Amino acid sequence: MQLLELEFENFKSFKGHVTVPFGPGFTCITGPNGSGKSNITDAILFILGSRSTKLLRARRLNQLIFGYQEGKKSRSAAQHCRVSMVFNNSDRFLSIESDRVRFTKGVRLRGGKPATYYRLNGDTSSAGEFEALFSRAGLYATGYNIIQQGDVTQTSLMSGTARRRKLEDVAGITAYDQRLRKTRSAREHVGTDLTLLDERMREAQRLLRQLEREKRDAERLEVILQQLQENELQRKWRRVLDLEAELESRRGLIARHEKELGELVEELKERQTAIGTLEDDYKKVETDISDAGGDRARELQELLDRARVSQALAQSNSESAGARLTELEGSRRQLEGSRKAAAAELKELREALEGARAEAGELDARVATASGELARLEASAADGSQEISGQRDALDALRQAAGELEMQRHRLEGEREQLERQLELARERLERSELLLKAAREDSADADFQLQDLELGRKSAADNLRKVSAKHGKLVGELALASDRLERIEGELREAALALAAEEAATRARDEIGGYARAVQSVLAARDAGELDGIVGTIAELGQVDEEHALALEVAAGARMQSVVVRDDAVAAEAIAFLKQRKLGRARFLPLNRLRRYRPSANALLLVKQAGAINFAQELVRFDPRYADAFGNVFGDTVIMRNLSEARTLLGRGRMVTLAGELLEAGGAMVGGSPPRSGIHFGTGTRDNLDELVARLSTAEASKLEASAAVLVLREELAEVAQAKTALESECSTTQTRVTDYDEQASKSADGLLQAQQAFETRQGALAALEGELGERETALGELQVTITDHTGSVEQAATALQDLTGGVAAERLAQLQSALGRQREMLSEVRASVARFEAAEEPAAGEEQRLASELEQNLAEQKEQQSLRRDERETARKLAREVKELKAEEDTKFRELNELRDRRDRLRDELAEARTMLAQREEFGRGRRHATDELKIEVATREPKLAEAQLRLPEKAEQPPKVGGSEQLEAQRETLEGQRGRLGNVNMLSLEHYRQEEERLARIREDRKQLRKEVRRLEALEAKISARKLERFSEVYKHIDENFQSTFTDLTGGGKAWLELEKPETVFDGGVSIKARMPRKRLFPVEALSGGEKSLVSMAFIFAIQRYDPSPFYLLDEPDQNLDGVNTEHIGRAIALQSAVAQFLVVSLHHAALREAAHVIGVFMADDGVSHLHQIHDVDSFIASLPAEEVAA
């Protein structure tokens, strides 16, 4: 492949259409400085795809167009430019099926904005296609085969890493890098998939564990249900066995209690006598202690007495409640037995009533039959005699009257018996009412006393709670305010910290890339670290400018922008010593205490008033007035002008800088062009802002510490108050509960007292009424008995008279019938009397059974109340016991001399309390035993039907288990089983199938995971293999190029020696490639220490070494010999001519040796109109001879 020609159209200094032909071999381009030689190099770089206009020596694409001027519009100015490169591609070096390939790239102005276009053989193309074709041909704008003007030493001065990358490009191992990146990317993707599979495997394992639990739950549920059935059967058996045991136990207790009650009476008399003796002794000891102890002793004694009385009262109340519970329990058992007995009696009574009624009916029938037969005989006897008939009628009338009287007698007897039963029952109820009335009065008095005491305690606790609650609310408000303040301060602290961090980061970034000299950077770093005090900052830091004036002011200040403003000359001396000690370089310091006050000169004052002048430079900078002298020292009399044309009219009259950056010195010198702007700019740092942020951060941190401490104190105080408040609330709640309980107890006691009083009075009235009614019934019954006796006698006389009148056999028969009928009527009368008695007893028995049921319900309710009362009083007694213990300890500490008396007193008091307690307990024991005995009898009567009912609940033909657990054990077992079943919740019976499916899924995931791990190992092996091949290829190329470099350098220098050296031979790609060189008759120097010409020789030798190994289609060298002397120029020229046999060389040079060695010479000259022109030079010697003498010398 060969570059045939280069075509221009309006490109930079070339106007119109220009064609540059290139022949094979060595072509040299020459011409005066500024004639446009390097524009040919720029055109080639423009085609090859340079992405930076700086490489093309232009700030914008617009400046590539001929005649383009910034800010000016001209209709005659060109609106586009283009460059074409034409290659001979007969060897298909370029991947295009064409022998001749034309690459065209141009720029058009559209609306003042540049637009780039591409053509390939006349067809529209793109930058990507150009880049792809050139890269496959080994052509790059930044390749080793292209050297721009002034870059000939770049290869020598580049870093070792960059030089190693050049060799990598030559070795063509970029593809290995791409394969490595792809392999690593694939390994990362596989790793991601593996991580995903790991997550899926963990999820599957979690599901398996969950399903396994569900499976176990289903199996466990079946076992629990079976155990619940067995538990239910055992609880039924336990109920039967418990009832049987209770009945047997209660019968034994009844007999034992009756025996104990007889022994208790004498014991109580003896205890009362002993208590009287102890009380007398105790009073005497108290008198002795009072005389010996003084006021404090009496005070302590009063406190102890009150506490002990309260304790004894609480203990007594607790014991009374316990005794009452025992009594109630006995009553309950008695009531249950009585109710059961009453129910059984009622049942028996009703059965007897039915039997008596049946028997009475049968006797009625027999009496009617006998009466009919007797009437028939008497009628037969009466037929024969009128007198007998009259006697028979009289006898029938008497018999009828006697029967009615007998019925009345039976009825009255039944009513009398019923009244006697009611009277006995009424007396029993009256006795019970008297007992209940007495107990109700005692309970009412006790409840009123307790209620008054608790009400006082409740009021005191409520007052304390109100005070603590008020304090608690106040502290909560203060804590809320303090917390809000702390939160606000923390927000300010975060904002200040972020602002400071951002400002420091920006400052560091500007320092790193801002272009400060090493010494200035070191001083600023020492200032920020606190090592140097008094450093204000650089001029660039302290000044702020508008964008419009920025370039002019930066040119006006120049290197003085790095001047460091310090507090005084002592600080400046310290900073200079700091730099000198650490060998950090030099810096310019401006001590504020020594600077002269700036005053503009007369010429400057006149100059600033001229047309085109904007103002003095320092007047366009914003800074703290304290630093005015420093800025005056930097800018002096410099005046900022609008443009160069206006400034030129005033040239020589003072120092001026235009807005475009041209500098006009007072001596007449002019500096301009298009230099890159310095990396140092005004406003790159504001130290005051940084200091302000630091102060703000410190203030915020101090405020945070203060607020945090205040919040901590408030929280601790609030915690203490909250704890006290909680305790008082609990105390108030407890006290209120007890007040409510005692209030309810007092109400109930009052209601009970009222009900007992009313019941007592009612039963007294009922008893009197029953006694009166019973007397009336007895009187009526006596009178009726006399009448019945009279009638009975009359009937007997009438029957005898009738028998006498009848006579004979008939009389005997009548006598027998009358006798039998009399007996039957007597039996009927007795049966009717029984029916009347049973009927009279049925209603009272039913009423008694209902009464017993009602009293039993009341008993159970009162038991619950007494249990609650006993718990509360026990707790009160425990608290008072602790109080007594504390008071006793104080008493012992203060008054040890009274120990003996007090010990005796305590013993007497304890004995007295114990005696009283024992007396009360024994009295209560007696009452309890009596009630217990009655209740036990009731319980026996009550439990017998319950036992029968429990036996009926057993399953048919159910056998008793060999071992039946206790009721509590069975109930606990049932609750445990129910709890286990409840904890199991909804059991998934499909869990077994789900478990199997998840196991299969987990197996598949594990297999996929295994395959992915295998793939990871394969990719790691592939990566290692590619890396090995890359190293092998690089080593091979490195070896050949090193050999070529050594031989080429020796040829170029006429005996010098140079070689390549790996910086890190063990890890080649972690280091670079350095160059070692020794010129003829000189010692070995690092390449950085060589002269400019020697560096050029090294660079050219390196390029030729690469070219000998991997030739490029052509080489473009812009003044590679600019730093060489005549001898070395000839060496370079001959070397290029020699290498041009295998490659095309395009060289820009001014040296005659290069021109003589070139096969083709092209001259570039610029006319007066600023347009570059090309000339083909055929006679090089004549051309050299025609050059001016000074240029020949060049």
**Tell me, what DSSP letter sits at residue 1151?**
-
**Tell me, what DSSP letter sits at residue 1024?**
H
Q: What is the pLDDT of residue 727?
A: 62
Residue 97 has pLDDT above 90, yes or no: no
Which range is least confidently modeled, 177-186, 352-361, 763-772, 1158-1167? 763-772
List the one residue out of 625, 663, 655, 653 whose CA is nearest residue 637. 655
Query: Residues 41-51: what's their mean pLDDT?
Result: 80
CB 33 within 8 A of CB 7: no
Q: What is the pLDDT of residue 563?
A: 93
Residue 419 has pLDDT above 70, yes or no: no
Residue 538 has pLDDT above 80, yes or no: yes
Instruction: Assign 576 a pLDDT band (cuts: 50, 70, 90).
Output: very high
Query: Residues 866-882: what's their mean pLDDT?
Result: 82
Tokens of 127: 């930058």
List the one residue out of 562, 555, 571 whose CA is nearest residue 641. 555
Q: At 223, which amino acid appears?
A: V
Q: What is the pLDDT of residue 509?
A: 46
Which range is least confidently modeled, 456-470, 472-486, 717-731? 717-731
Instruction: Assign 614 a pLDDT band (cuts: 50, 70, 90).
Output: very high
Q: What is the pLDDT of residue 246?
A: 77
CB 1175 within 8 A of CB 37: no
DSSP per position, 802-870: HHHHH-HHHHHHHHHHHHHHHHHHHHHHHHHHHHHHHHHHHHHHHHHHHHHHHHHHHHHHHHHHHHHHH
pLDDT digits (tens, 9 = 90+) for 1156-1176: 888 889 999 888 888 888 888
Residue 688 has pLDDT above 60, yes or no: no
Host H or E run for residue 1041: helix 991-1053
Instruction: Assign 177 a pLDDT band (cuts: 50, 70, 90).
Output: low
Q: What is the pLDDT of residue 1085?
A: 66
Q: What is the rounded CA–CA span in Å between residue 969 and residue 954? A: 20
Tokens of 820: 């039998």
Select the more confidently predicted residue: 402 or 1121: 1121
Instruction: Assign 75 a pLDDT band (cuts: 50, 70, 90).
Output: low
Which range is least confidently modeled, 288-297, 691-700, 1034-1043? 288-297
- Of the chain, the percentage scoring pLDDT greater than 70 comes to 68
Instruction: Assign 1191 a pLDDT band (cuts: 50, 70, 90).
Output: very low
Query: Residues 621-633: what's their mean pLDDT?
Result: 90
**Tell me, what DSSP letter sits at residue 685?**
-
pLDDT digits (tens, 9 = 90+) for 957-980: 777 888 888 777 888 888 888 887
Instruction: Assign 574 a pLDDT band (cuts: 50, 70, 90).
Output: very high
Q: What is the pLDDT of residue 1135?
A: 79
Cα 1075 from chain centroid (whole Å): 62
User: What is the average pLDDT value for the chain, to the nearest integer?
Assistant: 75
For 74, 135, 644, 731, the CA distances from 71, given in Å and listed in that order, are: 10, 38, 14, 92
Q: What is the rounded CA–CA span in Å between residue 51 and residue 37? A: 21
- Highest average pLDDT, of 144-148, 949-953, 983-987, comes from 949-953
- Highest average pLDDT, of 83-92, 806-815, 847-856, comes from 83-92
Phi, psi of 52 (to 5 degrees): -120, 130
Residue 1193 has pLDDT above 50, yes or no: no
CB 625 within 8 A of CB 640: no
Residue 891 has pLDDT above 60, yes or no: yes
For 285, 286, 287, 298, the CA distances from 292, given in Å and listed in that order, are: 11, 10, 9, 10
How do the domains of the chain map onto residue ranges?
534-676
- Highest average pLDDT, of 538-547, 803-812, 870-879, 972-981, comes from 538-547
Phi, psi of 1065 (to 5 degrees): -60, -30
Q: What is the pLDDT of residue 719?
A: 66
Q: What is the rounded CA–CA span in Å between residue 889 and residue 883? A: 10
Cα 378 from chain centroid (whole Å): 116
Residue located via tokens 């009531």: 335
Phi, psi of 301 (to 5 degrees): -65, -40
Q: What is the rounded CA–CA span in Å between residue 1061 and residue 1039? A: 10
pLDDT digits (tens, 9 = 90+) for 1060-1112: 888 888 887 778 888 888 888 787 767 777 777 777 777 777 777 777 777 77
Instruction: Assign 936 a pLDDT band (cuts: 50, 70, 90).
Output: confident
Select the more confidently predicted residue: 25 or 466: 25
Q: What is the rounded CA–CA span in Å between residue 332 and residue 601? A: 127
- Of the chain, the percentage scoring pLDDT greater than 90 comes to 7
Instruction: Assign 416 a pLDDT band (cuts: 50, 70, 90).
Output: low
Q: What is the rounded CA–CA span in Å between residue 259 and residue 79? A: 139
Query: Residues 392-397: what's their mean pLDDT?
Result: 57
Q: What is the pLDDT of residue 245?
A: 83
Q: What is the rounded CA–CA span in Å between residue 501 and residue 693? A: 9
DSSP per position, 975-989: HHHHHHHHHH-S--T
List the one residue out of 1140, 461, 324, 184 whose CA is nearest residue 745. 324
DSSP per position, 223-278: HHHHHHHHHHHHHHHHHHHHHHHHHHHHHHHHHHHHHHHHHHHHHHHHHHHHHHHH
**Tell me, what DSSP letter sits at residue 684?**
S
pLDDT digits (tens, 9 = 90+) for 979-998: 877 777 776 666 656 777 77
Q: What is the pLDDT of residue 84?
A: 93
Q: What is the pLDDT of residue 411?
A: 62
List the one residue out of 532, 571, 688 whose CA is nearest residue 623. 688
For 312, 449, 745, the CA distances from 877, given in Å and listed in that order, are: 7, 16, 19
Select the more confidently predicted residue: 726 or 668: 668
Q: What is the pLDDT of residue 1192?
A: 37
Q: What is the rounded CA–CA span in Å between residue 323 and residue 320? A: 5
Residue 379 has pLDDT above 70, yes or no: no
Instruction: Assign 1194 a pLDDT band (cuts: 50, 70, 90).
Output: very low
Instruction: Assign 199 a pLDDT band (cuts: 50, 70, 90).
Output: confident
Q: What is the rounded CA–CA span in Å between residue 704 and residue 714? A: 15
Q: Alpha helix (H) ranges present in 150-173?
A: 154-157, 160-171
Q: What is the rounded CA–CA span in Å between residue 226 and residue 994? A: 26
Q: Which residues pair with 616 in a beta bridge?
A: 639
Select the more confidently predicted residue: 201 or 891: 201
- Highest average pLDDT, of 216-230, 712-726, 749-763, comes from 216-230
Residue 1190 has pLDDT above 50, yes or no: no
Residue 749 has pLDDT above 80, yes or no: no
CB-CB neighbours of 803 under 10 Å: 18
Q: What is the rounded CA–CA span in Å between residue 693 and residue 1074? A: 47
List the one residue out of 647, 661, 626, 426 whose CA is nearest residue 543. 626
Instruction: Give the class (CATH, top level) of 534-676.
Output: alpha beta
Q: What is the rounded CA–CA span in Å between residue 339 and residue 855? A: 10
Host H or E run for residue 535: strand 535-538
